[in-house]
Structure 1
Amino acid sequence: MARYEEVAADLRQRIDQGEFPTGGTLPRYEDLTAHYGVGRGVISEAVGILEREGLVRPVKRTGIVVLDRPARRRVTRDQTITRDPRRGYVFPAASHPGEAWQVHGRPVADKQPATERVAELLDVEPGAPTVRRRRVTSPAGEPPFQLVDTWLSDTAVQDSPQVAEPSTGPGGYLDRLEEAGHGPISWTEHLRVRMPTREEAALLQISPELPILETVILGRSGRTSEVLEVTVRAIPSDRVELVNELQRHRSASWPTSPVETA
């Protein structure tokens, strides 16, 4: 085991034992180098490991903050979209039936430069001013679990101006789009793992060294097949585990058929 791995293992154990409580900070770099008898580079490598594990996050003018670690949520993924009479469409998510969730800060709807990813999916120029709806949510009492950005096409906003407002009424912005003549909307989902931007890491209260799970949902107009909305959900990778039920094809039925010989 490399020396920086030994230091990381010891710090991890001390965190787990409560010596460095959640919300507190690790000792200063100078104190850590003296305690472990190593150089600053070894401490930096050790802290980097803890960052990638979601245990700590360097905060400017504060120090190396010890993070709260909610239990990893096991999510059984399917492809079913349901509907709640009060909330509108409900997509596969990490919430459990009847579970209360909270919003961190205030939901925002404004114009922002389209990222390269969003520009590609909405078929606009990168950096083009685009309406973005943003919210940060989590189960009640837990730190931020996910950052959700919904980007809306010019067509969506022109046909249903209310979707550009923070509050869109019962059923949400999707109901407003379908009422404007785009129903039934159809969706496709993309999943990938990537590193967070600095802004995403700050909003999710995680280290920039911790990968995130990104799910992107594209909503297409039932009338024109145009992409009306791109919803990007960013979830820290230490918060969720996706589970899929695998099905046997008829070619994989059991008992297996005898192998035919020539």
Structure 2
Amino acid sequence: MSPTTESASVDPRPLHERIAADLREQINSGDYPSGTAIPSTEQLKTRFDASNATVQKALGVLKREGLIVGRAGSSVQVREQRRQVMTPALYSAPAPPDRRYQWIVEAEKRGQSGSSKLLEVGEVVPPGDVRKALGLGDGERAVLRKQILFLNEEPCELVKSYYPSDLARGTALMLKKRIRGGSPALLAEAGYPPTRTLDRISACSATQEQYQALQLPSDLPVLRTLRVVLSLDDRVIEVTEMAKASHLYELQYEY
């Protein structure tokens, strides 16, 4: 094995981050169910060949993320599972005119309260992948609607939706206020019903904006969904960038 290959195979992260990562995966996978104790400090020291201080530092990371609870000298237990499975197919369709946002309705079915805060509306130059999806050239603009979604008053998702300017001008998409039934309902009423959706999902480091908006407790990746919504004749009517905290949410699709 060459020196380059050997060095590339070594995890360069500090040991406490590696310990936290392994324990986080076991918590999220159910190896350590809610309400059960994780291995003792002595057991973790032996397992990871680590000092007491390093183990405590790793546990501190998981406590800040809300995954475990406990004090030094007592057993550390897994908190009630906070990671949630989100099913986009349940809330992407247009809401009937007399109904609330489908996302809020689905949250209430899970016993939660859902809400949103509209942060920004205006014409901007979108990121490169959004421009490509919209068929825009360098420097061309689209209408942005940016908001944060909340579950039980905690930030859940940072959402940036972009619309072709010629489609959005003169409609409620340009106004900084909520749209009755949501943008899918407005687009359907305007003759552009959503007929097909393409999602591209990646895990990436949080931007400064995402870190602050989602109130991330540490340097955790976010789940980034780039959603392209098409209407009749495959016209792109919306491109949305959504960011969720990866330690709290996962996405479920059915085929």
Do these two structures clear the TM 0.5 threshold for a shared fold by scoring above it?
yes
- Give the match for residue 206 of structure 1: 216
- Give the match for residue 240 of structure 1: 249
* 1:189 paired residue among 188, 199, 203: 199
Taking the aligned partners of 2:253 and 2:193, their CA distance within structure 1 comes to 29
Between 1:113-122 and 1:230-239, the stretch displaced more is: 113-122
* 2:172 paired residue among 162, 181, 193: 162
Larger Rg: 1
Is residue 2:159 matched to residue 1:148?
yes
How far the C-alpha of 1:236 sits from its partner, in A, is 0.7
* Percent of paired sites with the same residue: 21
Taking the aligned partners of 2:168 and 2:16, their CA distance within structure 1 comes to 55
- Give the match for residue 251 of structure 1: none
Q: TM-score, normalised by structure 1?
A: 0.59
Which residues of 2 match residues 59-208 of structure 1 at below 5 A?
Answer: 71-76=82-87, 81-85=92-96, 86-87=98-99, 90=102, 95=107, 97=109, 99-103=112-116, 105-141=117-153, 143-158=154-169, 160-167=170-177, 169-183=179-193, 185-206=195-216
Cα distance change of structure 1 residues 3 and 100 upon mapping to structure 2, 3 Å threshold:
closer
Q: Which has more helix, going by share of residues?
A: 2
- Give the match for residue 15 of structure 2: 5
Structure 2 unaligned spans of 5+: 1-11, 24-50, 67-79
User: Runs (4+) of structure 1 moved beyond 6 Å?
Assistant: 7-10
Taking the aligned partners of 1:205 and 1:225, their CA distance within structure 2 comes to 37
Q: TM-score, normalised by structure 2?
A: 0.60
Taking the aligned partners of 2:207 and 2:218, their CA distance within structure 1 comes to 7
Cα distance change of structure 1 residues 236 and 90 upon mapping to structure 2, 3 Å threshold:
same
2:220–2:246 Cα contact (<8 Å) kept? yes
Amino acid at match of 1:99: Q
Structure 1 unaligned spans of 5+: 14-35, 56-68, 247-262
Taking the aligned partners of 2:191 and 2:17, their CA distance within structure 1 comes to 60
Backbone CA RMSD of aligned residues? 4.2
Cα distance change of structure 1 residues 70 and 167 upon mapping to structure 2, 3 Å threshold:
farther
State how many pairs are aligned: 199
